[in-house]
Amino acid sequence: MRKGAVDMRIPAFMKTIRFRLTLWYSALLILVLGLLLVVINVAMVQSRPTISEVPPRFPGDLESWRETITDERDRNLTDLRNYSLIGAGAIVVIGAAGGYILSGMMLKPVSRVASLASRISHTNLGERINHQGPEDEVKHLADTFDDMLGRLDGAFESQKQFIQDASHELGTPIAVAQTNIEVLETDQSATTADYKHLMEVVKRSLDRINNLSQGLLLLSQGSQAQTKWTEVDVASLAEEAVSEAKASAAADGLSLEMGAGIDHVMVKGDAIRIKQVITNLVDNAIRYNRPQGKVKVSARIEGSNAILEVEDTGIGISRAEQQRIFDRFYRVDKSRSRSQGGSGLGLAIVKKIVEEHGGTVSVESSLDQGSTFRLSLPRHV
């Protein structure tokens, strides 16, 4: 309680770094000047002439001469001390004032950082300090703060876009189900078949909402906090994914096969998530293929990386759209994607999981010719 009372009595300016720097400057200056004055005065005293060294010009008045010399010496030493103290005081005052001004100039960018930080919010993250000056610690602080604001601005924009996209995507199946229900409610001649159709529409909408919520949950999770890392055989996981998807491919009249490769392609990672990556890529190749099309999955080793490729003979992706194909909620053919149950999150999830494992994923595609998704993961030797 007493400490808080003492803090309240101390003026605000005395708590600043600027004041403390000035105080230290002044203390150091006083110490140096004090030592200098002591040295000068001691040197003057030690170097004074003694009576034996003074020639007696008046042999009959030696005692008077001694007193005159002593008085003159004492007066000189007194004058030296007085002038030294006056000069030292002036130097301390000028030095303190100069130190206060200089420290204020040096700390001005820090004050700008503090001022900007105090008024910053999500609505004005575009502001910057833009400090111009030598490459010193202050400029490094200002530049670091500007970089942080840039990252925050990007994060807020990404979050804003994510919320807008998620709201739109979740709202679409809800609106579809609600519209069908309202139409059937006003239809007095609705049959059992109409109600069955409504149930199918609602079920598809709920499935879509469920898929979206699971995808959003996965994308919001931390990078490696909940993964179980073991030795994983990518080739074996690819064979499992192909085997599980054969029935779906056959139902669409597609050919799905495992290409020639190496029996064991080992990496270090989470088997469940790597399997999800392969399944998403295979499912994507089936969904956006053409009638009587083909899908081929292959795994091999290239240097220190494990390579997995999923090739299809589907609709293809334009070069411009290839730059955004891994963005959340992005679809090449939006109407077709929704009609086929696509959430727009599959490839975003693929990219997230692959990057968690230190790998990369890319696509090569030509319109009306097909696409090849290439996954590269560091090998576990």
Confidence at 169, pLDDT banded by 50, 70, 90: low
User: What integer pLDDT is reported at residue 61 of this predicted model?
Assistant: 59
Structure tokens that stand for 363 in this block? 């696509």
pLDDT tens-place string over residues 19-54: 777 777 777 777 777 777 777 777 666 665 554 455
Average pLDDT in the 291-312 region?
Answer: 93
- Higher pLDDT among residues 193 and 113, named by residue: 193
Total domain count for the chain? Answer: 2
pLDDT over 70 at 159, yes or no: yes
Final residue in a domain of this structure, among 220, 252, 284: 220
User: What integer pLDDT is reported at residue 221 of this predicted model?
Assistant: 65
| Helix H or strand E encompassing 89 | helix 62-119
Read off the CATH number of the domain in which 189 is found: 1.10.287.130
Q: Are 276 and 361 in contact (CB under 8 A)?
A: no
Q: Cα torsion at 60, 65, 66, 71 (round to 10°)?
A: 160
User: What integer pLDDT is reported at residue 362 of this predicted model?
Assistant: 93
Q: Give the whole-angstrom CA distance, residue 360 versus residue 351.
A: 7
Final residue in a domain of this structure, among 194, 220, 246: 220
User: What integer pLDDT is reported at residue 300 of this predicted model?
Assistant: 92
Same structural domain for residues 272 and 341? yes
Same structural domain for residues 236 and 314? yes
Same structural domain for residues 311 and 186? no
Say if 191 falls within a structural domain.
Answer: yes
- Lowest mean per-residue pLDDT among 54-63, 294-303, 304-313: 54-63
Same structural domain for residues 289 and 367? yes
User: What integer pLDDT is reported at residue 313 of this predicted model?
Assistant: 93
pLDDT tens-place string over residues 213-237: 877 777 666 554 456 788 999 999 9
Say if 46 falls within a structural domain.
Answer: no
Average pLDDT over the chain, rounded to an integer: 78
Say if 340 falls within a structural domain.
Answer: yes
Say if 125 falls within a structural domain.
Answer: no
Same structural domain for residues 156 and 285? no
- Lowest mean per-residue pLDDT among 50-64, 177-191, 223-237: 50-64
116-123: Cβ within 8 A, 24+ apart: 116/145, 117/145, 120/149, 122/156
Structure tokens that stand for 253 in this block? 């009249």
Closest by Cα among 296, 308, 278, 276 to 379 = 308
User: What integer pLDDT is reported at residue 6 of this predicted model?
Assistant: 47
- Lowest mean per-residue pLDDT among 96-105, 136-145, 164-173: 164-173
Confidence at 267, pLDDT banded by 50, 70, 90: very high
Say if 106 falls within a structural domain.
Answer: no
| Helix H or strand E encompassing 296 | strand 294-302
Read off the CATH number of the domain in which 236 is found: 3.30.565.10
Final residue in a domain of this structure, among 163, 193, 220: 220
Q: Give the whole-angstrom CA distance, residue 211 versus residue 143.
A: 42
Same structural domain for residues 191 and 269? no
Q: Which domain holds residue 299?
A: 230-378
pLDDT over 50 at 336, yes or no: no
256 three-state secondary structure: strand
Report the number of secondary-structure helices (H) and strands (E) in the chain.
Answer: 10, 7
User: What integer pLDDT is reported at residue 344 of this predicted model?
Assistant: 67
Same structural domain for residues 207 and 280? no
pLDDT over 80 at 239, yes or no: yes
Percent of the chain whose predicted confidence (pLDDT) is above 70? 80
Average pLDDT in the 332-349 region?
Answer: 60
Same structural domain for residues 216 and 249? no
Say if 105 falls within a structural domain.
Answer: no
Say if 34 falls within a structural domain.
Answer: no
Say if 62 falls within a structural domain.
Answer: no
Quickly tell me which residue has 């030795």 as its tokens.
Answer: 231
Same structural domain for residues 184 and 287? no
Same structural domain for residues 196 and 287? no
Same structural domain for residues 367 and 340? yes
Same structural domain for residues 242 and 209? no
